[in-house]
């Protein structure tokens, strides 16, 4: 049946229709046909294909590998076959890279060298400068042991009062950005910086292990070497300084920028207002360690199946729908950032909203909806983001399904859109965070276990995807995509970045910013 007849926007009694004062609709939009067409079987067929691609290419679909190139071909070929206008948007980016292993070694007193590694003692902080220095380690003001959270160590110039130029600064993680701490240290004459974890109990955020951080923004190297350590390492060094009066360390970082290439896949509907483009996106790449069938094969497969079924049903959207598959997300959100940066001012204004699907099939899942209005976490997106949240939560409520808010913390591709003032929202079923007893009572699964025990690991395979989560989240995604595609109402964004969000997002991809 032609979509022009199928979607006459007639409300059928008894259908799962979501319409409220918050939803941007002047008339009822029945999304049943599309939701029925987007099936678990169809989505899992794409997941199986992505698994086969990884199997044939060293177990990964990471950017820069044949597995990623094959993933691009798979998605692009299907979209072109369905009649979409498909663009493969090539881009380059600068990847921060350790060229030789970093060194962090107390030389006086002569302790054992610390071990480099995320699961060990320390790592190089992204955008660290290079350098090889042996100097006294000097604590910076504001350190609190034990910490209740909110340490201000290194956040102001006053914290460096009396700091000895030429020393290596020992700074506690806390309330301000790592870049701010390092900039203050550079101004004070530090020759290196060691940032140790805060040591408090922060739900959903590791404040004990090694600080896996970035000095971005800005994406420029610092002038001195910077590393992040665990709380235990920082506490140990503070105790040594107190016991011995002084501690000297050898700190070495050999890091440079490497230019790399990748590709976004972008597919547009043939019809629809280009000044009200609905952008449904998710990242196509996996981490090098595994095939990424939940992260983010689940988002990729769901977006792809929605696109294919919209074409099969003959949907002619009132507002253009753009399906985007981002490259190099796992390396720093580079694909989506390039896309937004490349938009002209008028093109940017023409993006009505961004719906982001990143991990929607976690085995120990929770139905998370991004907190667009900031009511749960105090970090709201640009104007209109709350409307997106309402569309999702009201849809789930109509199905008798509970949801939980999740924070705009900067870990996924919504980041660039929010910073550009474009309304954003989406769905998420959880990554390395731990399911609570209360969540297990609502959603099932196992309290005390991660939402995805295989997050960023080789075991993120076809067997790692929860089809119940896929079923529920894909229906909600199809509903929201079609509702916004057919609405006659605007979803208000701004020309300016969401400054509140920019100032509070604590991650850039998987790396902490503060």
Active-site residue set? 329
CA 286 to chain centre: 13
How are beta strands 131-139 and 248-268 bridged, if at all?
Answer: antiparallel
d(CA 439, CA 391): 22
**Of 242, 245, 240, 289, which is closest to residue 114 (Cα–Cα)?**
240
Backbone phi and psi for residue 370, each to the nearest 5 degrees, phi listed first:
-65, 135
Cβ–Cβ under 8 Å, residues 230 and 218: no
Q: Determine the Cα–Cα distance for residues 209 and 207; give it in Å rounded to an integer.
A: 6
- Please list, in sequence order, all residues whose beta carbon lies within 8 angstroms of the beta carbon of residue 44, skipping any fewer than 6 positions away: 301, 462, 465, 467, 470
Check: CB of residue 260 under 8 Å from CB of residue 64.
Answer: yes
Strand (E) or helix (H) holding 487:
none
* CB-side neighbour CA atoms (13 Å) of 482: 33
Q: Tell me the three-class secondary structure of 69-96, residue by residue.
A: HHHHHHHHHHHHHCCCEEEEEEEEEEEE
Q: Can you spell out the DSSP letters for 144-210?
A: -SS--S---TTSSGGGGTT--TTSEEEEE--SS-HHHHHHHHHHTT-SEEEEE---S-BTTB-SSS-
Distances in whole angstroms, Cα of residue 466 to Cα of each of 285, 361, 462, 487: 20, 5, 9, 32
Judge contact between 471 and 365, C-beta under 8 A. Answer: no
Closest CA to 122 of 196, 173, 55, 69: 196
Residue closest to 450 by CA, chosen among 462, 466, 436, 468: 436
> 192 — phi, psi (to 5°)?
-175, 165
Distance CA(125)–CA(79), nearest Å, equals 39
């Amino acid at each position: 049946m032609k979509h022009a007849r199928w979607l006459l926007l007639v409300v059928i009694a008894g259908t799962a229709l979501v319409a409220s004062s918050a939803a941007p609709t002047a008339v009822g939009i029945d999304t049943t046909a599309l939701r029925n067409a987007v099936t678990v079987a169809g989505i899992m067929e794409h997941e199986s294909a992505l698994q086969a691609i990884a199997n044939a290419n060293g177990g990964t679909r990471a950017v820069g590998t044949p597995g990623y190139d094959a993933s691009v071909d798979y998605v692009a070929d299907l979209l072109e076959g369905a009649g979409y206008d498909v663009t493969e948007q090539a881009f380059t980016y600068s990847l921060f890279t350790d060229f030789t292993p970093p060194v962090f070694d107390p030389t006086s007193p002569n302790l054992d060298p610390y071990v480099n590694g995320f699961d060990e003692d320390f790592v190089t902080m992204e955008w660290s400068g290079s350098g090889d220095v042996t100097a006294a380690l000097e604590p910076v003001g504001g350190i609190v042991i034990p910490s209740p959270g909110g340490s201000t160590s290194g956040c102001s110039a006053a914290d460096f009062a009396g700091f000895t130029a030429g020393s290596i600064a020992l700074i506690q993680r806390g309330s301000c950005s790592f870049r701010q701490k390092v900039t203050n240290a550079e101004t004070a004459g530090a020759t290196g910086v060691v940032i140790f974890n805060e040591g408090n109990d922060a739900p959903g955020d590791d404040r004990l292990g090694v600080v896996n951080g970035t000095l971005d923004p800005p994406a420029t190297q610092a002038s001195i070497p910077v590393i992040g350590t665990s709380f235990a390492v920082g506490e140990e060094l503070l105790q040594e300084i107190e016991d011995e009066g002084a501690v000297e360390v050898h700190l070495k970082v050999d890091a440079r920028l490497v230019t790399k290439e990748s590709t976004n896949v972008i597919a547009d509907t043939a019809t629809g207002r280009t000044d009200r483009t609905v952008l449904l996106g998710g990242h196509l790449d996996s981490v090098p360690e595994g095939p990424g069938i939940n992260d983010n094969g689940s988002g990729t497969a769901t977006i792809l199946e929605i696109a294919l079924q919209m074409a099969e049903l003959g949907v002619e959207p009132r507002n253009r729908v753009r399906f985007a598959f981002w490259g190099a997300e796992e390396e720093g959100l580079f694909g989506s950032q390039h896309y937004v940066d490349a938009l002209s001012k008028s093109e940017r204004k023409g993006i009505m909203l961004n719906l982001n699907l990143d991990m929607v099939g976690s085995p120990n899942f929770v139905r998370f909806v991004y907190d667009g209005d900031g009511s749960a976490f105090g970090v709201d997106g640009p104007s209109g983001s709350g409307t997106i949240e309402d569309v999702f939560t009201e849809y789930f409520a109509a199905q008798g399904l509970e949801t939980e808010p999740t924070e705009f913390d900067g870990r996924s591709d919504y980041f660039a859109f929010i910073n550009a003032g474009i309304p954003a929202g989406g769905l998420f079923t959880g990554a390395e965070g731990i399911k609570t007893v209360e969540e297990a009572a609502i959603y099932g699964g196992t309290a005390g276990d991660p939402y995805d025990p295989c997050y960023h690991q080789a075991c993120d395979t076809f067997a790692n995807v929860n089809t119940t989560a896929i079923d529920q989240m894909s229906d909600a995604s199809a509903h929201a995509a079609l509702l916004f595609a057919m609405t006659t109402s605007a979803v208000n964004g701004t020309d300016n970045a969401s400054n509140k969000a920019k100032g509070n997002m604590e991650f850039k991809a998987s790396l902490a910013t503060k």
